[in-house]
Structure 1
Amino acid sequence: MADLQVTAFAAFLEAVALSGLQGTLEFSAAALLPQFLAYFIAQYALVKLYRLAVFPHFVSPLRNVPGPKDGHILIGQMKNILGEKTPVGRYVKWGNDFPGVPFVRFFDLANKEVLLVNTPEAHKELLQTYCYAFVKPAILFRYVGDITGRGLLFAEGATHKRQRRTLLGLFSVPNLKRILPVFHEKAVELTGLIESQLGEDGKGFIEVVGTYSRATIDAAGLTILGVNLGNLVSTDPKMNFLKYYERVFEPGYVGAFIMALNMVIPGVRKFIPLEANTSHIRATQEIRSMMLGVVRQRIRDMGEGSEMPKLPGASTDLLTLLVEERKKLAQEGSEDVMTEEEINSQMLTFLAAGHETTAAFMSWSLYALATGPAKIQDKLRAEVMGVLAKHPNSSPTWGDIDGMHYLRNFCTEVLRLYCPPTLTYREAVSDMTLCGTFIPKGTNILFVPAVVNRSKAVWGPDADEFNPDRWDNLQGEAASPYAFESFSNGPRFCIGKHFAIMEYKSLLIEAMSKFRFSTSPQLEALGGKMPELQNPGLTLRARGGLQVGVERL
């Protein structure tokens, strides 16, 4: 945009000067227009040629950073990235092609330079040491902002610290313990749903992506909003959350292309009349509107001097806890009081993260069990059944679940190899040097958790293999917390990490206690290869679903 404005202004001045009109205040716009257009087009073409072909290769301070050389002069690496069968495949390849290099440079649309973070040390520098020297760029908001809102995810500096300070208490262990019974309740309902889809012999093939998507949106409704969506027992879900979320998270090929286009061309969604685009816009508007209605109703219900009725020790949803905190801060005269819109944005962020990432985790957990060695499933089930035997008439406690060693290893390995979130961006707010690399102000930095999670330089030659036992003997860089980026690290790490992990474990414990999982015709047809995934995609989600074999124990 700056090039366009500067070139237009220069062309105007040149047209005036060269027309001999510089000494008068009156001149004909019609007479100037042809000259202006000629100067503007010629100069803008030269500027763009410089930006595309000269600057990145011969002038840019980043020109010596290693990276792939097979990009297109106009669209950079976009064709290669979008041509993969997974949204992270090309990035993982580059990471392994340039082992030990802190950053890999590649070109985006119009040969714009992007740095891909490639090592644990580089992650530490960016996420911890210089965390607030980088901000979320506009390109990231155009990618996910209409789904997540402008909550904690996009807050910066003092605003981020204020919001995080307010929200941190929501995810304390005491609060999560109060929510644990809801996780167990939804896990039991889900096993009942799976049971109903099995044949008389107790066997069948279940599409797990859609099944767990319905389960997790229902659990998110209760734990985050305090609303019973009822998606597990009804084909017409309350508030149409599932319907709209499926539309957003399953955009199809055309919708995925529009999503990618909207990242690099601001505002382009407004001008695309295709159904894939208009239905996405309607869905996100409906979601925001319904969420705001829930927030406003809760604030009214918990007005001055009143609070939501609850029994001692009963579970409490995050929205209620946040509104309670809002009341407390207001009474204290604090400047940290969140507005209705801010609360709505937080709930949108929590719902998107709590729903889709959990569904993805469970889908890939069952995929790993179905396609992996039987000993993994047997070992995990033995640990689960051993703990459940201690509670024949109740669900496992927080301490029971937290103490299950192999379950922890299994869940962490799923998150390493099949990390649900695909990517996030940062932008440098000033010139700086990290890991020996000079990074100019305005440089886009790309974080793809899968790059370090599946780096052969970090995890060894078996980095692409599913092995829960690796977590008992971490060596070298793999022992660094920055070698595992599924929840990010530093001051901006995922605030709902422990919430998500406890939900994962609750769902998995119930599933393992009721069923055995095996391969399916769909998986067998793949011959051991990964199924095709949505690309681009907000999460690691199988395109068209993921089917596994299920057998009642």
Structure 2
Amino acid sequence: MEVWYFWSLIVGAAGVLCFLAHHLYNTMWFRSVRLRRKLWAQGIKGPSPSFISGNLPEMQKIQSQAQASAPDNADIVAHDYTHSVFPYLVQWRKEFGLIYTYTAGTRQHLYVNQAELVKEMNQCISLSLGKPSYISKRLAPLLGNGILRSNGHVWAQQRKVISPEFFMDKVKVMVGLMVESMQPVIRKWEDSIEAQGGVVADIRVDEDLRGFTGDVIAKACFGSSYSKGKEIFSKLRKLQKALSKRSFLSVVSGYGLLPMKKNNEIYSLEKEIESLIWETVKERESKGKEAGSSEKDLLQLILEGALNDQNLGKDSSKSFIVDNCKNIYFAGHESTAVATSWCLMLLALHPEWQSRIRAEVAEVCGDNLPDSDSISRLKIVTMVIQEALRLYSPAAFVSREALEEIQLGNYTIPKGVCIWTLIPTLHRDAEIWGPDANEFKPERFNDGVKKACKYPQAYIPFGVGPRLCLGRNFAMVQLKIVLTLIISNFAFSLSPNYRHCPAYRMIVEPGNGVQILIQKINTYGEHGGGSAAQGSVDPKLGQ
């Protein structure tokens, strides 16, 4: 009896394994084969995949070789980090051209870096082109099913609620708040100069800029100060780092599992963040009732949007609110701070553009702090930001999944294919931008984006199509405020301690932070702003 029972267990287990193998082959691997054949039939080629793992072994090998041959400190002047951060995509582009297909695990990908097809993606308003579902699952602890990762009618509803709050007329009202939030950073850097001898200070700017962007997003959108949201931001950052420790290969492939310890850490952080956000929501809801809710910030509108949606139950309403708060906290806080760090790195390398900005601020603002009117007239500042976003866009990819079969140019994209456009490669294409594509030249934007390059649709720091970043106006105004106030108060160059190491951690950020040597110049006086006029700079600064 016992022997029979033992063998029945073995047979049963073998049956389960056979079923799983059959399921894996037919529903996952064979589906990938079928999609690949449809793409190949249209002349789209790519590297040959191996069974189950696809092109992952080759990707891993190319990545390891790139890391082994990378110098200790990358060449900043070249600015092209794609060879070290995404070497397999660069190598395949050389082999197969601007359009090719590859397989990550059992997922079929289509690499698209042809300007005309990117233009078509820009013009596609169909809900059939959405965010890749498997990535959404991987990023669920950080972003849930909020606006950055949802699809279809759920995304459309979220966009309807959130989008109007980032229209330019609303953003202009926040300018004073942004200026106010930047003052503690200015004072902190002034104190650092005094503490380091009164002439020059060596400062790592990253966390201070995160403090600024966090304060702005918390106050402007959620009615709280940075001190209230600091714990949320801190835990979001930890969660981002925990998720980013999984290599880029794992993220794009949907293949492989985290160790149990890491799973536990991610789960714990996710629940802590959700709890903190929900506490903020309930406090805001309570204050709104006490005040008669005459003033509606973004959090209040998200609350109302969730509560008034007939399709959402109580649990779904809570998820709608918490997920979108996480999205806005992360996108409005982290991405803008990283973009600002890159701007300062580039300006530290090019002090002549600091001087040009300083002169423009003097002409436009005079002795006043920037306001909504003067910010809109800062053309040189805008050009510098646009060029910085071209060379160092925090977003590395435009990623889409064909949720239904779609037409893109002359190609039919089968349902289930994931489309990837590598932004830094598109932004450095000499055919589009000219032979100086890898150089920092803000003057290329003198007549706007349309005249800056051969194909304006190839400039996509905020994404493409209807899923264009909703906070782009908010981010641009913040960047203008930061650069205006910093350059009006300080002159700076790169610190000898700076190590150029762009890293992909869901966004492209300075791997070792940005460290600058900073020197005070003459100020506006009582306003705590900066002088646009004189302010001599130590010629030895940064040498």
TM-score normalized with structure 1 length:
0.78
Aligned CA distance change for structure 1 residues 131 and 98 (closer, same or farther; 3 Å):
farther
Deviation of the 1:383 alpha carbon:
1.0
RMSD: 3.7
Equivalences for 1:194-343 in 2 at 5 Å? Answer: 194-198=189-193, 199-230=196-227, 240-251=231-242, 256-257=245-246, 261=250, 264-265=253-254, 268-269=257-258, 272-274=259-261, 276-303=262-289, 306-307=292-293, 317-323=297-303, 326=305, 330=308, 339-343=317-321
Aligned CA distance change for structure 1 residues 92 and 37 (closer, same or farther; 3 Å):
closer
**What residue in structure 2 maps to residue 421 of structure 1?**
395
Does residue 491 of structure 2 align to residue 533 of structure 1?
no
Equivalences for 1:344-423 in 2 at 5 Å? Answer: 344-372=322-350, 374-391=351-368, 395-423=369-397
Deviation of the 1:153 alpha carbon:
1.9
Distance 1:286 1:30 in 2: 42
Equivalences for 1:22-33 in 2 at 5 Å? Answer: 29=8, 32-33=11-12
Distance 2:463 2:25 in 1: 42
Deviation of the 1:454 alpha carbon:
2.2
**What residue in structure 2 maps to residue 17 of structure 1?**
none
Amino acid at match of 2:216: A
What is the number of residues matched between the two proteins?
A: 491
Deviation of the 1:465 alpha carbon:
1.3
Q: Deviations over 1:167-200 (max 9, x none)?
A: 2221233322222111101111111122222222
Cα contact 1:94–1:104 (8 A) shared by 2 = no
Distance 1:52 1:340 in 2: 36
Amino acid at match of 1:150: N
Does residue 112 of structure 2 align to residue 135 of structure 1?
no
Does residue 143 of structure 2 align to residue 148 of structure 1?
yes
Deviation of the 1:387 alpha carbon:
2.4
Task: Provide structure 1 residue ranges, at least 5 long, that are not aligned to the other structure.
Answer: 1-27, 231-236, 311-315
**What residue in structure 2 maps to residue 488 of structure 1?**
463
**What residue in structure 1 maps to residue 473 of structure 2?**
498
Distance 1:500 1:341 in 2: 26
Distance 2:232 2:383 in 1: 33
Cα contact 1:431–1:441 (8 A) shared by 2 = yes
**What residue in structure 1 maps to residue 512 of structure 2?**
544
Distance 2:452 2:481 in 1: 31
Amino acid at match of 1:550: I
Equivalences for 1:73-88 in 2 at 5 Å? Answer: 75-79=56-60, 83=64
Distance 1:82 1:240 in 2: 35
Aligned CA distance change for structure 1 residues 194 and 142 (closer, same or farther; 3 Å):
farther
Task: Provide structure 2 residue ranges, at least 5 long, that are not aligned to the other structure.
Answer: 1-6, 68-80, 522-543
Distance 1:39 1:345 in 2: 39
Deviation of the 1:438 alpha carbon:
2.7
Deviation of the 1:263 alpha carbon:
5.7
TM-score normalized with structure 2 length:
0.79
Cα contact 1:226–1:320 (8 A) shared by 2 = no
Deviation of the 1:405 alpha carbon:
0.8
Aligned CA distance change for structure 1 residues 407 and 67 (closer, same or farther; 3 Å):
farther
**What residue in structure 2 maps to residue 443 of structure 1?**
417
Deviation of the 1:363 alpha carbon:
0.6
Distance 1:34 1:401 in 2: 68
Q: Deviations over 1:22-74 (max 9, x none)?
A: xxxxxx945854874796699789879985997788x4533631445799856
Amino acid at match of 2:344: L
Aligned CA distance change for structure 1 residues 109 and 492 (closer, same or farther; 3 Å):
same
Amino acid at match of 1:216: T
Deviation of the 1:397 alpha carbon:
2.0
Distance 2:349 2:466 in 1: 37
Distance 1:129 1:267 in 2: 33
**1:434 aligned residue (399, 404, 408):** 408
**What residue in structure 2 maps to residue 16 of structure 1?**
none
Aligned CA distance change for structure 1 residues 92 and 195 (closer, same or farther; 3 Å):
farther
Deviation of the 1:379 alpha carbon:
1.1
Deviation of the 1:410 alpha carbon:
0.6
Deviates more, 1:185-194 or 1:66-75: 66-75
Cα contact 2:119–2:458 (8 A) shared by 1 = no
Equivalences for 1:65-104 in 2 at 5 Å? Answer: 65-67=44-46, 75-79=56-60, 83=64, 89-90=86-87, 93=90, 97=94, 101=98, 103-104=99-100
Distance 2:55 2:467 in 1: 34
Identity %: 23
